[in-house]
Amino acid sequence: MERYALIAARVLMSIIFLLNGLNVVSQSLAAHEMAAHGVPVSLVPMMLLGAQALQLVASIGLIFGLYPRLSALALLLFLIPATLMAHAFWQAVGTPLYTIQLINFLKNVCMAGGLIFVAATNIQPIRFPHPTR
């Protein structure tokens, strides 16, 4: 049961990163946020592409158990600045966006907690059968 629970948790955690990596979720708001935080406009497309590639590779790693601890750490290192940049709820106090930003910030904090758990769990099951030696 534990093996399947860990695999299910990793798959569920990975879905949002996989969809972002496949560009199913629009990145137009992310591009706007990056430019608003001083990232040169000429670098924004390349940074978005890099972020999508990281999310795609790391989410697949989590799903299939290929270097899951490294994948979780990579997603965590991506998630921290992305959360602080995109969901600064403290800047929206008193506006209609406050609740939305707070909810999204807390959602990302929860995802970070799951990623920390995966990164800290020494033995992670893989979805492929192990070759017998």
> How many angstroms separate the CA atoms of 25 and 35, rounded?
19
Max Cα distance, the chain (Å): 62
Which pTM does this prediction carry?
0.87
List C-alpha distances in Å: 62 to 48, 54, 111: 21, 12, 13
Does the residue 35 lie in any domain?
Answer: yes
Does the residue 57 lie in any domain?
Answer: yes
Structural domains of the chain, count: 1
Does the residue 98 lie in any domain?
Answer: yes
Range of the domain at 106: 2-120
Does the residue 7 lie in any domain?
Answer: yes
Does the residue 62 lie in any domain?
Answer: yes
pLDDT digits (tens, 9 = 90+) for 46-97: 999 999 999 999 999 999 999 999 999 999 999 999 999 889 999 999 999 9
Does the residue 128 lie in any domain?
Answer: no
User: Which long-range contacts does 103-109 make (Cβ < 8 Å, 24+ apart)?
Assistant: 108/79, 108/82, 108/83, 109/83
